[in-house]
Structure 1
């Protein structure tokens, strides 16, 4: 019997991303295999409150907000939609927790871990790099730590998460059909920093 083998979505671009990194200025890499679970529920329902209690943080209720626990990041995706991001292998446990708290109320819990991968962009030049293809104001006063936005980056639909403003760090959630395109675009856009 063949042994199962898993490969990250950007494994073929890992070397290109690493080669595009510039020590002390910019680092590009994939954050592979994170658990990602989509949640839809009425934010004013008793279920939303139970879910907040069950996961250890109330669901964010404003555009761009991100709530965090020790192991989860909860991104506001819409008025009744969130994306819960956890460590590799935790999707099933997150789903069970959410489904139990949801109970019989109207809502949905879906494992979307295979839908997107994450590209991490860190370093002092990260905002400048992202600004080449993104219309958002990424200044640290405007786009702060643990703030997210659904936007376009190089014409690809992404979810952008600022993880740290002091030592600039961003996660780019990109759909599987655009992941290689975006990795190639980032590598090309970073070329000037290697000169």
Structure 2
């Protein structure tokens, strides 16, 4: 990794481009932009009622490590009575207002839109790359589309989920740790070739 990314300061995101053998791209990674993100935490004893009410309103909440997507939202269970809510085409303020109108006093809400970086990882060698550092069994029989986990990757805390069977994975990483995560990902995928986009040109 020291040779591959020697030109990249440790505090900067790995610039977009191709890394590894020329002409190979067994892994594709891109920063996902334009998402509003919020945490929704049920108040004590309110998780079941909250989930039922929001599901009836078209916002599916599964009180388990699962990712569920609708046309407008993705909900990810991150702990008992706790979810991440992602929305395309909304501001963080608008998302909080919408969730607040549904949850009322049964939950606390926090805007996370600017606090995290979301990276999508796909390609035929995505699973083999991630297996080098993700502390979760990614075999299709153990982790498939709709599964989610909050764990550590190369000493960096992440929440990630498999969004389809291709497979495609999305990782949410705190912005302060995103450079370290991308350095790990780029180095781990280099043997297969990785095409990285959305992170700027350095």
TM range (shorter): 0.7 to 0.9
Structure 1: distance between partners of 2:56 and 2:96: 15
Answer whether contact 2:51 2:62 (CA < 8 A) is retained: no
Gaps of 5+ in 2: 1-10, 195-202
Does residue 169 (structure 1) correspond to residue 168 (structure 2)? The answer is yes
Residues 20-29 or 67-76, more deviating: 20-29
Answer whether contact 1:133 1:155 (CA < 8 A) is retained: no
Deviations 1:71-102 (A, max 9, x none): 11100011110000111434333211211122
Does the residue aligned with 2:18 lie in a helix, a strand or coil?
helix
**Map 1:12-27 → 2, pairs under 5 A:** 12-15=13-16, 18-20=17-19, 23=24, 25-27=26-28
Larger fraction in helix? 1
Structure 1: distance between partners of 2:68 and 2:77: 8
Change (3 A) 1:120 1:20: farther
Gaps of 5+ in 1: 1-9
Does residue 44 (structure 1) correspond to residue 48 (structure 2)? The answer is yes
Larger RCO (CA under 8 A, 6+ residues apart): 2
Q: Which runs of 4+ in 1 moved over 4 A?
A: 21-24
Aligned pair count reads 179
Answer whether contact 2:134 2:153 (CA < 8 A) is retained: yes
Answer whether contact 1:20 1:28 (CA < 8 A) is retained: no
TM-score of the pair, normalised by structure 1: 0.83
TM-score of the pair, normalised by structure 2: 0.80
Does the residue aligned with 2:151 lie in a helix, a strand or coil?
strand
TM-superposed CA distance for 1:23, in Å, is: 4.9
Deviations 1:6-51 (A, max 9, x none): xxxx985342xx3138755210111124211110112123x44332
Structure 2: distance between partners of 1:74 and 1:172: 14
